[in-house]
Amino acid sequence: MSETSFTPRVFSGIQPTGNLHLGNYLGALKRFVDWQAMDAETIYCMVDLHAITVWQNPTDLQKSTRELCAGFIAAGLDPEKSILINQSQVPEHAQLAWVFNCVARMGWMQRMTQFKDKAGKNAQNASLGLFAYPALMAADILVYHATHVPVGEDQKQHLELARDIATKFNHDYGVDFFPITEPVIEGAGTRVMSLRDGTKKMSKSDVSDASRINLTDDADTIAKKIRKAKTDPDALPSEVEGLSDRAEAKNLVNIYAGLNNQSVEDVLVDVGGKQFSEFKPMLVELAVSKMSPITTEMARLMEHQDEIDKILARGAERARAITAPILRQTYDIIGMVPPAPF
């Protein structure tokens, strides 16, 4: 089946679980804004149904969802250009996910490393939703016939599963209906690491707040965290190969490159030979200049929650104009009787 038979359409999502951080920004949000600037139809989602696969306090979930929407807009997403939605307000996501639960195989799900990581040792006690998580993610994407999905590297396996689900559905029903989605995992920021340990991913759930830069951190906090970030005693190399055994140095250079829209090679041309005592203040200045305006705008938007709620309601309405017909066609393909007009 050819991907070109579908209009290019970009979809991605982020979980509203608090602590939006620099990894989310460079790996996802910033890329969302880049796609919006290109000639693409862009749909971005706060995936609250994914969030509840692990326990969420209801009050916090509401706040985090609105805060994530504020973060989307503050980072440069324009609700007129991009469709911004809250997953639970577009019911077709969950409806298609059920169909995909019946397409995906147990064995496929059991191979998912994120499930194994999140479920930990006591997998019997994990929610059924956590196990089915990637089928809902496939539905998020395919209920729009999205063709491109910008994400960080940790989502690669889930996107491959979405392709497997689309392929099996098309094959089982003998149709050419769901597109085979392209993962878009590129640039310096696809895997931002912890500031305390360059071998661990920067994560919302890390107990150490010093390990990440949150989008809600003020300039002083950002500066403090970068100054304290783990490094090694050597000067920076001038070639990329010189970073290969230096996880922390590599991470800070990657972050610099991501924030400054440069390649790592180009950054090293400028900073090769410098000590961290010289490089860190450069990184502080860059990070503060790029992130502080976002933080300030997010805080301002959070004071207008009614506007955020209206943006989400409008987004859901626009989204459903796309998702309702695709779900109906799916139901027709699998043999669900359509409701007759009275």
Q: Which residues are catalytic?
A: 118, 201, 204
Nearest CA to 19 out of 217, 200, 279, 182 is that of 217
* 154 counts as binding ligand AMP under rule CB under 6 A: yes
Residue 10, contacted partner among ligand AMP, ligand TRP, none, CB below 5-8 A by kind: none
From candidates 155, 214, 251, 254, binder to ligand AMP by CB under 6 A: 155
CA 209 to chain centre: 20
Would you count residue 202 as binding ligand AMP (CB under 6 A)?
yes
Q: Does 151 interact with ligand AMP (rule: CB under 6 A)?
A: yes
* Contact assessment for residue 238 and residue 273, using Cβ atoms and an 8 Å cutoff: yes
CB 137 within 8 A of CB 172: no
Residue number with CB closer to ligand AMP (23 or 134): 23
Q: How far is the CB of 277 from ligand AMP (least distance, A)?
A: 26
Q: Which residue sits closest to ligand TRP, CB atoms considered?
A: 13
Residue 298, C-beta contacts closer than 8 angstroms, at least 6 positions apart: 67, 70, 71, 74, 215, 216
Instruction: Tell me the per-residue interface mask from 22 to 41 with ligand AMP, x by CB under 6 A, - otherwise.
Output: -xx--xx-------------
Interface residue with ligand AMP among 201, 224, 246, 320 (CB under 6 A) is 201
* Residues binding ligand AMP: number (CB under 6 A): 17
Residue 137 touches which of ligand TRP, ligand AMP, none (Cβ within 5-8 Å per kind): ligand TRP
Report the interface residues with ligand TRP, using CB under 6 A. 11-15, 47, 50, 137, 140-141, 149, 151, 155, 158
- Interhelix angle 276-302/58-74, rounded to 10 degrees, is 110
Considering only residues 214-243, where is the footprint of ligand AMP by CB under 6 A?
Answer: none
State which residue, 28 or 99, has the beta carbon closest to ligand AMP. 28
CB of 151 to ligand TRP, least distance (A): 5
User: In the complex with ligand TRP, which residue's Cβ is closer, 137 or 165?
Assistant: 137
192 scored as a contact of ligand AMP (CB under 6 A): yes
Task: Report in angstroms how near the CB of residue 87 gets to ligand TRP at its nearest.
Answer: 8
Reported for 293-299, long-range contacts at CB under 8 A and 24+ positions apart, including other chains, are 293/74, 294/25, 294/71, 294/74, 294/75, 294/215, 295/74, 295/215, 295/216, 295/217, 295/218, 297/70, 297/73, 297/74, 298/67, 298/70, 298/71, 298/74, 298/215, 298/216, 299/216
- For residue 293, how many other CB atoms are within 10 A of its CB? 13
Smallest gap from residue 13 Cβ to ligand TRP (A): 3
Task: Return the number of the residue (28 or 223) whose C-beta is nearest ligand AMP.
Answer: 28
Q: CB–CB of 199/246 below 8 Å? A: no
Residue 55: other Cβ atoms inside 10 A: 8
Let me know the angle formed at the C-alpha of 102 by 97 and 107, rounded to the nearest 5 degrees: 105
If contact means CB under 5 to 8 A according to the sort of partner, which of ligand AMP, ligand TRP, none does residue 202 touch?
A: ligand AMP
Please, what sign has the CA dihedral across residues 126, 131, 136, 141? positive
Residue with tokens 């997998």: 123
| Cβ contact 323:93 at 8 Å | yes
Give yes or no for residue 190 binding ligand AMP (CB under 6 A): yes
For residue 212, give the amino acid letter.
R
Residue 211 binds ligand AMP (CB under 6 A): no
Binding site for ligand AMP (CB under 6 A): 14-15, 23-24, 27-28, 151-152, 154-155, 189-192, 201-202, 204
